[in-house]
Amino acid sequence: MNPTDHRQPWTFAAVSVMVIAATLLVHGLTQIPTIQLLPGYVAAYLLIGACIFVPGARMPSPSQAVAFLLPGALLVTLAFLDLGFWCGGWLLGLPAWGLLLSRWTPENKLPVVRVLKFLGLLVLGLAVFMLNGVIGIFLVFSLAIFLLPLVPIRLVYPDFRAHLLQMSVEVLLSVSAVVLALILPTPEGSWSSPMIHAGGAAAAGLMIAFWAQGIPRRSAKLRLNEGITL
């Protein structure tokens, strides 16, 4: 077993945090002014960042920190201008975005094509999230919320052995997301329940995160160079 395996980002925990945050934010939009949701948004943003960067036992570089925080900060301005709560939609891809940035080093650049693929998947995830519950066929994505406690990390990544702490945190967060989706009442006048929003967030988040998780941690060029004996 690779000795650095236990230092992999807690991507699955980050997705569960995102689902909880997205569910609460959408529910809160019908209850309180948007500006009052921003502290919760910031807390969720930082917690997702902690799930990605802290397990690596290495603080993100200034470039990584700026690239991680800047999109969310810019989108918050739209909320202040009453142009929509698009920063909440950005949360759907935030675990995957953090994962991509965690692999961005001076030796392993972040290709533009990979960023474009991420943005394409984020748009697809937003479509799933927003259309879920509006068009009947998308209701199937609501069931994704129940996948959170059922997705076994060791089956998805056979070479990964999570520590007890990580497994416990992931189970706690994923079960909390399901319970929250089930107990939150549907706001008066709304045609979508919190479970539908949570399911859409889970489907989008898992899709983008699994794609990002499957990207090699280092470029093929770097691995080739490491194989050369000078």
Give the model's pLDDT for residue 124: 93
Dihedral of the CA atoms 156, 175, 12, 187 (nearest 10)? 120
Q: Over 80: is that where the pLDDT of 98 sits? A: yes
Write out the two tokens for 111: 């290709």
5-26 average pLDDT score? 86
Entry field: residues in the chain? 230
Q: What is the DSSP letter of 136?
A: G
d(CA 12, CA 117): 20
Contact 12, 51 (CB under 8 A): no
Cβ atoms within 10 Å, residue 161: 14
Contact 20, 43 (CB under 8 A): no
The pLDDT tens digits for 16-38 are: 999 999 999 988 887 888 888 88
Residue that the structure tokens 């949570």 belong to: 198
Percent of the chain predicted with pLDDT > 90: 36
The residues spanned by each domain of the chain are 5-226
Cβ atoms within 10 Å, residue 10: 25
Cβ atoms within 10 Å, residue 213: 18
Task: Give the Å distances, CA to CA, from 191 to 31, 124, 187, 202, 216.
Answer: 15, 22, 9, 19, 41
169-188 average pLDDT score? 87
185-203 average pLDDT score? 81
CA-nearest of 74, 116, 73, 125 to 95 is 125
Residue that the structure tokens 């001076």 belong to: 106
d(CA 54, CA 128): 30
pLDDT class of 6 with cuts at 50, 70, 90: very low
d(CA 189, CA 45): 29
Give the model's pLDDT for residue 217: 58
Q: Give the 3-state secondary structure of residue 121.
A: helix
pLDDT class of 117 with cuts at 50, 70, 90: very high
What residues are paired with 135 via a beta bridge? 132
